């Protein structure tokens, strides 16, 4: 049953649209029996409204619209609509311009059709050339002003209609010339249709054909209220409707589809980047665990052989340093890609959406609400990308040294985890290579991450100082603590990698590592590094 309803739905919708159009056409026709001026005014005001709507859509979406052909037509229709408005007001019986008669509206009609036809004829030129919207608008304003002055002030515009005689030769010839211009414009459109979406060029082609039919009809009427005049206005309605549909399809539907498609692609790219990072961390963690297990077996087997033990320890240190080095390089690479590529793309997208939002009118409430939701998602994505990038490779460490980077790290944890820090830190970065500073920063980063995840602490004490040729580091919290002996008794795969990673980094720099903790008594971690020896490890991480 649902399948039958779905099958019949589209034909019924089309039938309803056809009936509505026929009803509107019949209603317009019936108005001619009582008051032809009413029919004429309704048709012309409908055309004027469409012309202004075409301009509004094209102008407000000009930053998104890549088709300069339709952008030029959108600007042209502002002035075509203005001339048609004056034509409507000047029509015989309206009494807006007393003393001018039927010649004035006919002159305005011819001027409007010339402007419309020439615009269609020159529009293909801008399919491959740049169009400057403001300059184009100024040019059309100049032409529009010249036309009005030539009709109302200078009397230069030729006579188009004589009372009692009908259309002048100039009017009839002009209609045929306009038809020729429109036919040429249709030919150029067919030759360049590969530059358009299939539906778009068809709508423009139908608009031009309806325009030509309208102009031919207007060559046959004698009185401004006769049948040929009415048929010409019906064709004009069709022409304006088709071009309106074409501009909407390019100026609104396609740009918004592009914006949402780009947003979706950006989200997918961020997810892929996160998946890649997690996969790489898992791979390196698994490799490290496998290496540790293998080395422990070798150390156990070769305990009696001191030389073999030293070789195994050296191998473990080398492999660990290589893993950490690779991990750090991957962190930096992914951080740069997130910040430079994905981050910048999100910011550009945000600016484009904000610019588009500012162009919307007050009546487009639903569209504004949808844009607000999209902008909120984009801002959230930008914040996520920025946080991931900073956690992977903080630029402040490279630019300002260890002390500034640690202060920033403490501040971030204080804000995000509601931790109170008691910090007493001497300047030690002059005694550290860049690689050593990165290693120490990662130790503090891992330690604070463990505190925030497991300790449930409210206060953290930090002490950093130099005594003679040694650098002393202390991190203590007032959290719940844990049983160190019980933790060591667990299987290696259940201990977690946090403390192991910290201890390994300390040993890489020939340092000593100590940890103290009891349940409900907090945890204290301290390590000491020899200052004079750090430079030789500058390439280790």
Q: Where are the domains of the chain?
A: 1-30, 35-253, 394-541
CATH code of 394-541, in short, is 3.30.565.10
- Which of 493, 412, 407, 488 is closest to 449 using CA atoms? 412
The answer to whether 200 touches 208, Cβ cutoff 8 Å, is no
The answer for 467, left when phi > 0, alpha when psi is -120 to 50, beta otherwise, is beta
Beta-strand pair 470-477/523-530: antiparallel
Please tell me the predicted confidence (pLDDT) of residue 410.
85
Residue with tokens 């325009």: 211
H helices present in 166-253, as ranges:
169-191, 198-217, 227-248
- Which of 324, 322, 312 is closest to 500 using CA atoms? 324
The residues, any chain, with a CB within 8 Å of residue 517's CB and separated by 6 or more, are 481, 482, 483, 484, 523, 524
Give the predicted TM-score (pTM) of the model.
Answer: 0.46
Buried/exposed 288-327: b ≥16 CB within 10 Å, e otherwise: beeebeebeebeeeeeeeeeeeeebeeebeebbbebbeeb
The answer to whether 84 touches 144, Cβ cutoff 8 Å, is no
Please tell me the predicted confidence (pLDDT) of residue 348.
66
Please tell me the predicted confidence (pLDDT) of residue 24.
52
What is the per-residue DSSP string for 399-464?
HH-HHHHHHHHHHHHHHHH--EEEEEE---GGGS-HHHHHHHHHHHHHHHHHIIIII--SEEEEEE
Spell out, as residue ranges, where the chain has pLDDT lower than 70: 1-36, 64-66, 220-229, 248-267, 302, 304-358, 360-365, 368, 378, 382-397, 399, 487-498, 532-541
* Nearest-angstrom CA–CA distance, 174 and 168: 10
Please tell me the predicted confidence (pLDDT) of residue 37.
75
Q: DSSP secondary-structure letter at 218?
A: T
Please tell me the predicted confidence (pLDDT) of residue 279.
82
The residues, any chain, with a CB within 8 Å of residue 250's CB and separated by 6 or more, are 65, 67, 70, 197, 200
Please tell me the predicted confidence (pLDDT) of residue 134.
92
**CATH superfamily of the 35-253 domain:** Rhodopsin 7-helix transmembrane proteins (1.20.1070.10)
The C-alpha torsion from 396 through 398 and 400 to 402, rounded to 10°, is 90
* Nearest-angstrom CA–CA distance, 410 and 420: 9
């Amino acid at each position: 049953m649902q399948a039958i309803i779905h099958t019949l739905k589209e034909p019924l919708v089309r039938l309803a649209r056809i009936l509505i159009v026929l009803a509107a056409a019949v209603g317009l026709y019936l108005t001619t029996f009582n008051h032809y001026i009413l029919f004429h005014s309704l048709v012309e005001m409908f055309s004027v409204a469409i012309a202004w709507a075409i301009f509004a859509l094209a102008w407000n979406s000009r930053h998104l619209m890549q088709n300069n052909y339709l952008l030029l037509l959108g600007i042209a229709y502002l002035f075509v609509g203005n001339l048609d408005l004056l034509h409507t007001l000047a029509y015989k019986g309206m009494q807006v311009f007393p003393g001018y008669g039927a010649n004035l509206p006919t002159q305005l009609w011819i001027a409007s059709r010339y402007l419309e036809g020439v615009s269609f004829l020159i529009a293909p030129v801008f399919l491959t050339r740049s169009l400057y919207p403001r300059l184009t608008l100024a040019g059309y304003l100049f032409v529009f002003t010249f036309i009005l002055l030539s009709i109302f002030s200078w009397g230069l515009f030729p006579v188009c209609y004589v009372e009692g005689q009908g259309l002048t030769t100039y009017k009839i010839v002009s209609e045929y010339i306009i038809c020729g211009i429109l036919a040429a414009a249709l030919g150029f459109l067919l030759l360049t249709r590969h530059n358009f979406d299939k539906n778009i060029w068809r709508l423009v082609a139908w608009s031009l054909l309806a325009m030509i039919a309208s102009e031919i009809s207007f060559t046959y009427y004698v009185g401004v209220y006769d049948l040929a005049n009415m048929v010409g206005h019906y064709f004009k309605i069709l022409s304006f409707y088709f071009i309106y549909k074409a501009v909407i399809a390019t100026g609104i539907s396609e740009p918004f589809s592009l914006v949402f498609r780009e947003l979706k692609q950006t989200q997918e790219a961020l997810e892929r980047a996160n998946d890649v990072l997690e996969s790489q961390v898992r791979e390196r963690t698994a490799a490290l665990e496998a290496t540790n297990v293998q080395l422990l077996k070798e150390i156990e087997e070769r305990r009696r052989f001191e030389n073999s033990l030293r070789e195994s320890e050296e191998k473990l240190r080398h492999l660990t340093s290589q893993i950490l080095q690779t991990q750090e390089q991957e962190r930096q690479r992914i951080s740069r890609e997130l910040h430079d590529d994905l981050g910048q793309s999100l910011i550009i997208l945000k600016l484009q959406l904000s610019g588009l939002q500012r162009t919307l009118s007050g009546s487009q409430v639903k569209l504004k609400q949808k844009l607000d939701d999209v902008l909120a998602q984009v801002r959230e994505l930008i914040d996520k990308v920025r946080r991931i990038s900073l956690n992977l490779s903080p630029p402040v460490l490279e630019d300002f040294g260890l002390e500034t980077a640690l202060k920033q790290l403490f501040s971030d944890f204080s804000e995000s985890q509601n931790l109170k820090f008691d910090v007493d830190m001497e300047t030690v970065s002059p005694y550290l290579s860049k690689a050593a500073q990165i290693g120490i920063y990662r130790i503090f980063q891992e330690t604070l991450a463990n505190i925030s995840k497991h300790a449930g602490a409210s206060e953290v004490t930090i002490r950093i100082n130099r005594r003679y040729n040694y650098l002393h580091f202390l991190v203590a919290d007032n959290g719940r603590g844990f049983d160190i002996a019980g933790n060591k008794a667990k299987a290696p795969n259940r201990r977690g990698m946090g403390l192991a990673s910290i201890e390994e980094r300390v040993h890489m720099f020939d340092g000593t590592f100590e940890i103290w903790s009891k349940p409900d008594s907090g945890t204290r971690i301290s390590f000491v590094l020899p200052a004079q020896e750090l430079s030789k490890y500058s390439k280790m991480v």
